[in-house]
Structure 1
Amino acid sequence: MKAAILGIGTELTDGQIVNKNASWISKKLKAAGLTTTAHLVVPDERKLMREGLEFCASHGDLLFITGGLGPTSDDFTRDIVTEWVGVPLEFDETSWKHVNDRLSSRGYAVKDIQRQQCYFPQGSKILLNSQGTANAFYLEAHGKKVFVLPGPPREIEAVWEDSIAEWLTENTKNLDPYITRIWDTMGVGESDVAVIVEDVLKDVKIEKGYRVHLPYVEVKLSFFKSQEKEMADALEKLTEALQFCTIARDGNDAAELFAENLKQIKSVCLIDEVTGQFLMNRLMPVLRDFMTDQSWSFSKSRAVKNSADLHLHVLPKDEHSCEVSLQYKGRVLKDIIEAPYKTANMRERRHQYFAEMALIFWLKNLS
């Protein structure tokens, strides 16, 4: 079973917002062993929406359409889907009650224009949207299984949790999942890593992939779960060959894991005199969900005095090395990090390396 994802909205094609919904959905599908063959976005134009739907249907068995279910004149996704299926729209009283209950409980007046959100293709299954007024729906047509979802990410997540997750579990239980094993390497160039991988796997028929997301070079091997036993020897050999530069495996992220360990600590002081913005860029996205409940101090200078429970420092030693330290509950732990990037034009790469290695040091010693 392969999937394709169609995002609808002029705000996407104009670059006003990024289509994060497609990425989120694909990750969920990947975890279920499915392959996503296409991400496509189209503006709120009927002709392009219909063409986009037909393109996705030609490349996937399972379709996800996001956006265009609201109450305004540029929300007509349901109309395009209905035309494609070839059935009439039907008004759903339960969805109208949902709209009324949700709006009136929040002090909003219910307008007749919002009835638009309560029409669904005949024969479709309505999926409750507990975080918004526009319910989603599911249908089968032209041999495809189609989920039509609202646009806001929070609403998609709610519909997924309430309806789609269980459906996926049930409908993928007899599939042979397509799985991916990942090695995140650091300190070695992409071409050098590729030479190692290609040499180890020269006689192995397996899908290989590489991705540079600095400071990492990611190696990916994909195969069907039924092939796991026959691939075991090759995976073991590659793991051994990449051991000297492997930092993480199978999608584990140092910043996310580190943030989990910080949730129980009430006050943190981080001083970074080395990496510039790189350490903060890694931490802020994973810390923002709980920073408001804790005391945080971030500084580029050790001159700042702070009585936090946890102190984290990254201090310069020389151009190619730094000192990283952790002070917590009376313990003081330190280490020297030396970057493998020595040339003058690799300064930015060194800073990225220092930031990542500092996270790994703190994670190891705070766990």
Structure 2
Amino acid sequence: MSAAILSIGTELTRGEIVNTNASWLAESLTALGMEVTAMEVVADHRATIVETLHRLSASHTLLVCTGGLGPTTDDITSECVAEVLGVPMQRDDASLVAIKQRMARFGRSMAPSNEKQADFPRGATVLANRKGTAPGFHVQVGHANAFFLPGVPREMKTMFEEHIAPEVPPLVGESLHQVRLKTFGMTESAVNDKLAGIEGAHDVVIAYRAHFPEIEVKVLA
């Protein structure tokens, strides 16, 4: 069982902001026992998003996507998912009401462009967003349980904890266990030589990270 993380946003591919969402998601999924084997970033380009969704969903059991759920013309994630699934977009009245109510609480009126945030691929399960105006959603895409979350970090993190974390354990099967070790005063190659043979003999994966004067060793099984 493996997971893929897809970050959508031209501001990411241009290097205008740092993609902290992906690293946080990878760490959180690993802690839940899921092996993350792919992490990709794509621009707000319809054909690229559609192709990437097809490819990642064909080879992963869990797909977590962030970004592209806002009210502007370059926020096209929902439409791309609908294209991949071959279904029309559908307005969710409850989400529309929730968006209006949230804006009213902050003394703002709802602009027509915000209405698109209540449109989802037909058949999607809507995921409430308590921290912002953009709901997320969940669909089955190919082999993958696919979750789509807003790109705003605090919204994404809250929604992950509320909607995705509880769904991961049944997908995991045999959990991925990780142990972190730290060595001091040894080179990375010396540590590697000391642990030679462990991976093949015990069906584990070892990863190294050098940050002087320590070597961090992650043992996954």
Counterpart of 1:212, as a letter, is: A
1:77 aligns with 2:72: no
Any residues of structure 2 matched to 1:49-88 within 5 Å, and which?
49-88=49-88
Counterpart of 2:218, as a letter, is: K
Question: Counterpart in 2 of 1:93?
Answer: 93
SS in 2 for 1:198: coil
Counterpart of 2:30, as a letter, is: K
Question: Counterpart in 2 of 1:364?
Answer: none
Structure 1's consecutive aligned runs of 4 or more residues displaced over 4 angstroms after TM superposition are: 199-205
Question: Counterpart in 2 of 1:216?
Answer: 214
Structure possessing the higher radius of gyration over alpha carbons: 1
Question: Counterpart in 2 of 1:185?
Answer: 183
SS in 2 for 1:184: strand
Aligned pairs, how many?
221
Question: Counterpart in 2 of 1:143?
Answer: 143
Q: Is the 8 A contact 1:88 1:121 kept in 2?
A: yes
CA distance in 2, matches of 1:125, 1:202: 42
Taking a change above 3 Å as real, the CA distance of residues 217 and 91 of structure 1, as seen in their structure-2 partners, is: same
Q: Which has the higher contact order (CA 8 A, sep 6+)?
A: 2
Q: Percent identity?
A: 38
SS in 1 for 2:195: helix
Q: Is the 8 A contact 2:70 2:117 kept in 1?
A: yes
TM-score, length-normalised on structure 2? 0.93
Larger CA deviation: 149-158 vs 188-197: 188-197
Any residues of structure 2 matched to 1:137-286 within 5 Å, and which?
137-169=137-169, 171-172=170-171, 175-198=173-196, 203-223=201-221
Q: CA RMSD in A?
A: 1.7
Question: Counterpart in 2 of 1:103?
Answer: 103
1:119 aligns with 2:111: no
Question: Counterpart in 2 of 1:262?
Answer: none
Q: Is the 8 A contact 1:38 1:59 kept in 2?
A: no
CA distance in 2, matches of 1:47, 1:201: 40
Counterpart of 2:208, as a letter, is: Y
Taking a change above 3 Å as real, the CA distance of residues 31 and 203 of structure 1, as seen in their structure-2 partners, is: closer
CA shift, 1:203, in A, is 4.9
CA distance in 2, matches of 1:47, 1:202: 41
Task: Name structure 2 gaps, 5 residues minimum.
Answer: none
CA distance in 1, matches of 2:81, 2:200: 47
CA shift, 1:109, in A, is 1.9
Question: Counterpart in 2 of 1:32?
Answer: 32
CA distance in 1, matches of 2:196, 2:23: 29
Q: Is the 8 A contact 2:117 2:135 kept in 1?
A: yes
Counterpart of 1:11, as a letter, is: E
Taking a change above 3 Å as real, the CA distance of residues 74 and 183 of structure 1, as seen in their structure-2 partners, is: same
TM-score, length-normalised on structure 1? 0.57
Task: Name structure 1 gaps, 5 residues minimum.
Answer: 224-367
